[in-house]
Amino acid sequence: MVQQVTKGIKISVETNFEGTFYKNYKVHFAFGYKVTIENQSKEAVQLNSRHWKILDALNNVEVVDGEGVIGKQPIIKPGESHTYNSGSLLASPFGAMQGHYNMVNFSDGKKFRVVIPTFKLSAPFALN
């Protein structure tokens, strides 16, 4: 698990290898990840959008931007958290993801960025 706190918002990420499968005559490596966003600040915040940079061992880079997470723009009150599961497909058995969430503080209306720490994606069979 990797964790990082930015402006009172703690991001924790756990990953797992889901398996391999073929799509369009190419092998793909499926990874799942669980993100917990914990509000350790004294103000309510809302997650508005996300930015991901997904890298694999073949130097492929995919950038993903979008509203919210899993179709939601959660409001997270002080002391509360929001957890969701998602996944990514890579062309290699190794890779990494990093990014940030764009959030707004409800008390002053200010927007801010919360760093998602870089986390590794690796298939256990490829480790030695």
At CA 12, angle to CA 94 and CA 95, rounded to 5?
Answer: 10
Q: For the chain, what percent of residues have pLDDT higher than 70?
A: 98
Contact of 54 with 15, CB cutoff 8 Å: no
Query: What pLDDT is attached to residue 36?
Result: 98
* Structural domains of the chain ordered from first start: 2-121 (2.60.40.1470)
pTM of the complete model: 0.93
C-alpha torsion sign, points 123, 10, 82, 63 = negative
pLDDT one-digit tens code per residue, 31-79:
999 999 999 999 999 999 999 999 999 999 999 999 999 999 999 999 9
The Cα diameter of the chain in Å comes to: 52
